[in-house]
Amino acid sequence: MAPAKVFGPAMSTNVARVLVCLEEVGAEYEIVNIDFGTMEHKSPDHLKRNPFGQIPAFQDGDLYLFESRAIGKYILRKYKTTNNDLLPEGNLQEAAMVDVWTEVEAHQYNPAISPIVYECVINPAMRGIPPNQKIVDESVEKLKKVLEVYESRLSKSAYLAGDFVSFADLSHFPYTFYFMTTPYAKLFESYPHVKAWWDRLAARPSVKKLAANMAARA
Amino acid sequence: MAPAKVFGPAMSTNVARVLVCLEEVGAEYEIVNIDFGTMEHKSPDHLKRNPFGQIPAFQDGDLYLFESRAIGKYILRKYKTTNNDLLPEGNLQEAAMVDVWTEVEAHQYNPAISPIVYECVINPAMRGIPPNQKIVDESVEKLKKVLEVYESRLSKSAYLAGDFVSFADLSHFPYTFYFMTTPYAKLFESYPHVKAWWDRLAARPSVKKLAANMAARA
The stretch A192-198 carries a mean pLDDT of: 98
Residue B85 lies in a domain: no
Facing A99 at nearest CB: one of B51, B73, B153: B73
Residue B175 lies in a domain: yes
Q: Note the pLDDT tens digit of each residue in A127-168.
A: 899 999 999 999 999 999 999 999 999 999 999 999 999 999
Residues β-bridged to residue B31: B6
The stretch B62-81 carries a mean pLDDT of: 97
Per CB-CB distance under 8 Å, the chain A contacts of B65 are: 96-97, 100
Q: Please report the pLDDT score of residue A126 as a whole number.
A: 84
Instruction: Tell whether the model's pLDDT for residue B51 goes beyond 90.
Output: yes
**Chosen domain end from A29, A54, A78:** A78
Residue A66 · residue A56 · CB < 8 Å: yes
Interhelix angle B13-25/B205-214, nearest 10 degrees:
150
Task: Assess whether B60 and B147 both reside in one domain.
Answer: no
- N- to C-terminal Cα distance for chain B? 35
Task: Assess whether B29 and B114 both reside in one domain.
Answer: no
Task: Assess whether B98 and B197 both reside in one domain.
Answer: yes
Which chain A residue shows the shortest CA-CA distance from B146? A52
Which domain does A104 fall in, by range? 92-214
Cβ–Cβ below 8 Å for A70 and B102: yes
Number of neighbours of residue A120 by Cβ within 10 angstroms: 24
Which chain A residue shows the shortest CA-CA distance from B80? A92
> Confidence band (pLDDT; 50, 70, 90) for B127?
confident
Q: To the nearest whole angstrom, how far is the Cα of A65 from the nearest Cα of chain B?
A: 7
Task: Assess whether B58 and B130 both reside in one domain.
Answer: no
Task: Assess whether B65 and B106 both reside in one domain.
Answer: no
Q: Structural domain tally of chain B?
A: 2
* Dihedral angle computed from the Cα positions of residues A21, A25, A29 and A35, in that order, rounded to the nearest 10 degrees: 10
Task: Assess whether A169 and A207 both reside in one domain.
Answer: yes
Residue B207 · residue B201 · CB < 8 Å: yes
DSSP A190: G
Cβ–Cβ below 8 Å for B73 and A66: no
What is the distance between the alpha carbons of residues A156 and A160, in angstroms, rounded to a whole number?
Answer: 9
Q: Please report the pLDDT score of residue B218 as a whole number.
A: 54
Residue B83 lies in a domain: no
Task: Assess whether B50 and B117 both reside in one domain.
Answer: no
Residue B84 lies in a domain: no
Q: What is the CATH number of the domain that holds A15?
A: 3.40.30.10
Interhelix angle B68-78/A92-104, nearest 10 degrees:
160
The CA–CA distances, whole Å, from B96 to A131, B106, B160, B191, B194 equal 37, 15, 12, 25, 21
- Number of inter-chain CB pairs under 8 A, A vs B: 77
Facing B67 at nearest CB: one of A67, A69, A107: A107
Residue type, A207: V
Task: Assess whether B203 and B153 both reside in one domain.
Answer: yes
Instruction: Tell whether the model's pLDDT for residue B71 goes beyond 60.
Output: yes
**Chosen domain end from B78, B106, B125:** B78
Q: Note the pLDDT tens digit of each residue in B74-88.
A: 999 999 998 899 999
Which of A73, A102, A193 would you mutate first to test chain B, the one with the most B CBs within 10 A? A73
Task: Assess whether A194 and A105 both reside in one domain.
Answer: yes
Which chain B residue shows the shortest CA-CA distance from A104? B67
**Chosen domain end from B78, B101, B116:** B78
Residue A133 lies in a domain: yes
Residue A86 lies in a domain: no
The CA–CA distances, whole Å, from B120 to A52, A217, B110, B133, B190 equal 26, 43, 15, 9, 21
Task: Assess whether A171 and A199 both reside in one domain.
Answer: yes
Cβ–Cβ below 8 Å for A96 and B65: yes
Q: Note the pLDDT tens digit of each residue in A22-76.
A: 999 999 999 999 999 899 999 999 999 999 999 999 999 999 999 999 999 999 9
Per CB-CB distance under 8 Å, the chain A contacts of B66 are: 100
Q: What is the CATH number of the domain that holds B154?
A: 1.20.1050.10
What is the distance between the alpha carbons of residues B98 and B77, in angstroms, rounded to a whole number?
Answer: 13
Per CB-CB distance under 8 Å, the chain B contacts of A93 are: 63
Residue B86 lies in a domain: no
Residue B87 lies in a domain: no
Q: To the nearest whole angstrom, how far is the Cα of B160 from the nearest Cα of chain A?
A: 13
Task: Assess whether A36 and A106 both reside in one domain.
Answer: no
Cβ–Cβ below 8 Å for B74 and A99: yes
Task: Assess whether A208 and A101 both reside in one domain.
Answer: yes
Per CB-CB distance under 8 Å, the chain B contacts of A78 are: 92
